[in-house]
Amino acid sequence: MSLSPRPRLPSTAMAEDGGERRDWADMPSDALAAVFGMLDVSDLLTGAGLVCRAWRQLAATYSTLWRRVDMSHQADLMENEEAEAMARTAVDRAAGTMEAFWADSFVTDGLLLYLSVRASSLKSLQLSLCFNVSNEGMAEAMKGFPQLEELDITFCSLYGDVCQSIGKACPQLKCFRLNDRWTFQMDYGASDGMDDDTEALGIANNMPELRELQLIGNNITNDGLISILDHCQHLESVDIRQCYNIQMDDALKSKCARIKNLKLPHDSISDFKYRAYIVSSVAYSGSDLELDLFDDLDVVTDDDDADFNDTDDFNETGSDGAMYDDEFDV
């Protein structure tokens, strides 16, 4: 085949065998951009984006493709180093326009800091199962995201003062999720000192613009929650499922009356994306949690709902809380 210049508009030409030949490489670039926009980061970086010169050019230079980067659920598909290298490339290609970065286990302090100095326009950050991110790394990185509006930290080892650092760095934060596994904390065994409002107070005192708060499996007490409700006046949605230190007494009920969307400690977790991790931790009696976590990297997607019907039914009987109490009689 010769290297003759291609016509600007796509066309069907006659191939050698007489049949019509479609030149996919010459697709209209706006249509190709729309196709690329529907592909994952890993697809763009390993597949479609490396097919030919024209496609590579588009993937490398069209920064809109990298505005929302979703690298969650990649952990079982590639090595952590690979995933991190891809994430860095995505950050580079976004050229300062990245608005959302969602990722799971492979994230490190180093990657967060890389993002922090190159993506100051970030509005949404979601981290799940990131055990390699430290409280200090997180606090430092957050300083680079002054426009952040949504932060989701699910099953990472981030706790305590980090809420204060986050709040101070991100004054526009409207949605904050800090989800943990109740059983995970029980594993440390100290029955005293399990009440802990450090995170609650960090939220109450530093996140005045919050609309939505999710604290699944937190050690928060009634005092902590009341403090949040008093300070975060715009709150519309509060989710404290599996926060078993909370006692929904009359005082707390009346405080919560203004919250439009309220989920209580013993409510079903059937709509929680990472519920499989919670369910499995019960099955394993909380032992060897590290192994358990990595064995079970099947994140529950919306499509899988049917598979979990049994579990849901079980939760809806209201007996899940009792079960936790029995398993961890401390």
Partner 1 sequence: MAAGKPVVMVTLVSSDGQSFQLLEEAALLSAMVRDTIQIGQGRGPAGIPIRNITGQTLSMVVVYCNKHYTAAAAADGDDAADEEKKVANKKQLREWDEQFINLEQDKLYDILVAANNLGIDGLVDLCCWRFADMMKGKSASEIRVKLGIRDDFTSEQRAQIEKDSPWVWSRTT
- Judged by the rule CB under 8 A, the positions of this chain that interact with partner 1 are 1, 3, 10-12, 20-22, 24-25, 27-28, 30-31, 34-40, 43, 45-53, 56, 78-79, 82, 85-86, 89
- The residue (of 43 and 307) whose beta carbon lies closer to partner 1 is 43
State which residue, 29 or 205, has the beta carbon closest to partner 1.
29
**Min dist. Cβ of residue 146 to partner 1 (A):** 30
Q: What are phi and psi of 225, to 5 degrees?
A: -65, -40
Query: Using only C-alpha atoms, what is the Rg of the chain?
Result: 23
In angstroms, what is the minimal distance from the CB of 282 to partner 1? 33
Report the C-alpha gap between 65 and 235 in whole angstroms: 33
Smaller CB distance to partner 1: residue 71 or 235?
71
Residue placing its CB nearer to partner 1 in the complex, 93 or 174? 93
C-beta of 56 vs 231, nearer to partner 1: 56
Question: 3-state DSSP call for residue 142?
Answer: helix
Residues 6+ apart with CB under 8 A from 311: 270, 275, 279
Min dist CB 160 to partner 1, Å, is: 35
Q: What are 171's two structure tokens?
A: 């004054």
Tell me how far, at minimum, the Cβ of 59 lies from partner 1, in Å: 11
CB of 212 to partner 1, least distance (A): 23
| Min separation Cβ 222 and partner 1, Å | 37
From CA 112, how far away is CA 106, in angstroms rounded? 11
Three-state DSSP class for residue 117: helix
Minimum distance from residue 129 beta carbon to partner 1 (Å): 20
**For the chain, how many residues are written?**
330
Cβ proximity to partner 1: between 82 and 161 the closer is 82
Q: Which is nearer to partner 1, 105 or 242 (CB)?
A: 105
Residue closer to partner 1 (CB basis): 11 or 97: 11
Q: Residue 74 or residue 245: which is nearer to partner 1 going by CB?
A: 74
Find the shortest distance in angstroms from Cβ 246 to partner 1. 34
Using CA atoms, how far residue 175 sits from 48, 181, 217, 232, 280, in Å, is: 34, 20, 17, 12, 27
**3-state secondary structure at position 13:** strand
The encoded tokens of residue 213 equal 């708060």
The nearest distance, CB 2 to partner 1, in angstroms, is 11
List Cβ<8 Å contacts ≥24 apart for 49-58. Answer: 51/25, 52/25, 54/25, 54/26, 54/29, 55/25, 58/29, 58/32, 58/33
Helix H or strand E segment including 237: strand 237-239
Distances (CA, A) of 132 to 73, 92, 125, 145, 238: 16, 22, 16, 20, 28
- Tokens 């050698």 correspond to 16
* Number of CB atoms found within 10 A of residue 56's CB: 14
